[in-house]
């Protein structure tokens, strides 16, 4: 079984580690380097994985190095590990928003075995979705290895062009936050109409769950499901017309375009 070194042990690393352990990856073959002692101790206590004293300690002899630090610290982390990574040549997986292959080549040199991946926080409960992009130079065995690591937390989707990883980030990486915002807004609106907060919350959250489960299982797609809820001249039509008149679709498109653009900015600010 491959030894996987996590650089950074925050929210996404915890989700991926939890998924790997649940899928039967041996805890002794997972290492984490995390500077916040409480986070590192909790990962060791919860999953029995190995705490590394430093990033260098974590990657030494590892088959896979998974970068799970914020985009803004990726340059520092890579430059610190450059010599060791070029000696050991592990498979590198980055889940950082925006950070490109060109960024990594600038910091680590060329001829890398590097995969970019964009998971999302439902990974924590095994319900994530991950977009994956591989440098064309990465061989089939490395692609399969990366996909098997990321499949621990949900389905994976291969993306053919690196430039589209910013769109993946904007749609599914950040996407859970958009649905949470809609839930928040609907709960507040229900309360404004006189429902108690607990009742509004239970109604909204279970509606979201039911709608998502139907949409995932329905080949006809969400537009047809929406039409089936919408009785002529009924309550849903009144609400949908209000959403449309308020520019809901355009606002969604603008928000996702802005998130995509932000991914490009992160790459440029990181130095590539």
Ligand X SMILES: NC(=O)C1=CN([C@@H]2O[C@H](COP(=O)(O)OP(=O)(O)OC[C@H]3O[C@@H](n4cnc5c(N)ncnc54)[C@H](OP(=O)(O)O)[C@@H]3O)[C@@H](O)[C@H]2O)C=CC1
The verdict on whether residue 7 carries a ligand-binding annotation is yes
Integer angstrom CA distances of residue 19 from 92, 127, 174: 19, 10, 20
3-22 binders of ligand X (CB under 6 A): 7-13
Q: Does 34 bind ligand X (CB under 6 A)?
A: yes
Q: Cβ distance 22 to 81 under 8 Å?
A: no
Smallest gap from residue 184 Cβ to ligand X (A): 17
Q: Are strands 130-134 and 64-67 parallel, antiparallel or unpaired?
A: unpaired
Q: Does 264 bind ligand X (CB under 6 A)?
A: no
Smallest gap from residue 169 Cβ to ligand A1CAB (A): 5
The one of ligand A1CAB, ligand X, none whose footprint includes residue 90, by CB under 5 to 8 A per kind, is none
Q: Site for ligand X (CB under 6 A): which residue of 26, 28, 35, 247?
A: 35
The one of ligand A1CAB, ligand X, none whose footprint includes residue 68, by CB under 5 to 8 A per kind, is ligand X
* Structure tokens belonging to residue 163: 């430039």
* Vertex 44: Cα angle to 90 and 67 (nearest 5): 30
Q: Does 124 bind ligand X (CB under 6 A)?
A: no
The verdict on whether residue 9 carries a ligand-binding annotation is yes
Smallest gap from residue 226 Cβ to ligand A1CAB (A): 26
Q: Does 69 bind ligand X (CB under 6 A)?
A: yes
Q: Cβ distance 159 to 129 under 8 Å?
A: no
Residues with Cβ < 8 Å from 91, sequence gap 6 or more?
63, 64, 65, 113, 115, 142, 145, 146
Distance CA 203, CA 18 (A): 30
Q: How many CA atoms lie within 13 A of 136 on its CB side?
A: 2
Residues with Cβ < 8 Å from 270, sequence gap 6 or more?
71, 72, 74, 75, 98, 99, 103
Q: Site for ligand X (CB under 6 A): which residue of 1, 23, 28, 36?
A: 36
The verdict on whether residue 12 carries a ligand-binding annotation is yes
Three-state secondary structure string covering 167-182: HHHHHHHCHHHHHHHH
Residues present in the chain in total: 272
Smallest gap from residue 8 Cβ to ligand X (A): 3
When the beta carbons of 41 and 197 are compared against ligand X, the nearer one is: 41
Q: Does 130 bind ligand X (CB under 6 A)?
A: no
The verdict on whether residue 8 carries a ligand-binding annotation is yes
Q: Does 121 bind ligand X (CB under 6 A)?
A: yes
Q: Does 55 bind ligand X (CB under 6 A)?
A: yes
Task: Please count the residues of this chain forming the interface with ligand X, following the rule CB under 6 A.
Answer: 28
Residues that bind ligand A1CAB (CB under 6 A): 97, 169, 173-174
Distance CA 215, CA 221 (A): 6
When the beta carbons of 19 and 173 are compared against ligand A1CAB, the nearer one is: 173
Q: Does 58 bind ligand X (CB under 6 A)?
A: no
Smallest gap from residue 114 Cβ to ligand A1CAB (A): 18
* Location of structure tokens 């009144």: 238
Please report, in range form, the residues annotated as the binding site.
7-12, 55, 68-71
Please report, in range form, the residues annotated as the binding site for NADP(+).
7-12, 68-71
């Amino acid at each position: 079984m491959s030894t996987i070194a996590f650089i950074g042990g925050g929210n996404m690393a915890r989700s991926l580690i939890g998924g790997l352990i649940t899928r039967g990856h041996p805890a002794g073959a997972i290492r984490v380097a995390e500077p916040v002692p409480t986070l590192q101790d909790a990962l060791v206590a919860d999953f029995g994985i190995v705490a590394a004293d430093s990033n260098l300690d974590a990657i030494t002899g590892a088959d896979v190095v998974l970068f799970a630090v914020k985009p803004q610290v990726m340059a520092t982390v890579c430059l610190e590990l450059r010599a060791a990574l070029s000696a050991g040549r592990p498979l590198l997986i980055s889940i950082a928003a925006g950070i490109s292959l060109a960024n990594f080549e600038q910091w680590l040199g060329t001829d890398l075995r590097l995969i970019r991946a964009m998971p999302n926080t439902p990974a924590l409960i095994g319900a994530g979705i991950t977009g994956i992009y591989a440098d064309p130079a990465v061989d089939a065995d490395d692609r399969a290895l990366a996909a098997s690591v990321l499949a621990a937390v949900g389905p994976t989707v291969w993306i053919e062009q690196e430039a589209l990883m910013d769109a993946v980030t904007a749609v599914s990486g950040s996407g859970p936050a958009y649905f949470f915002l809609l839930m928040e807004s609907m709960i507040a609106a229900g309360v404004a109409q006189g429902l108690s907060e607990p009742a509004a919350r239970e109604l909204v959250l279970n509606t979201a769950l039911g709608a998502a489960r139907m949409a995932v299982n329905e080949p006809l797609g969400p537009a047809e499901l929406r039409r089936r809820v919408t009785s002529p001249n009924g309550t849903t039509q009144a609400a949908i017309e209000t959403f449309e008149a308020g520019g809901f679709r355009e606002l969604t498109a603008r928000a996702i375009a802005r998130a995509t653009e932000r991914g490009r900015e992160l790459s440029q600010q990181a130095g590539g």
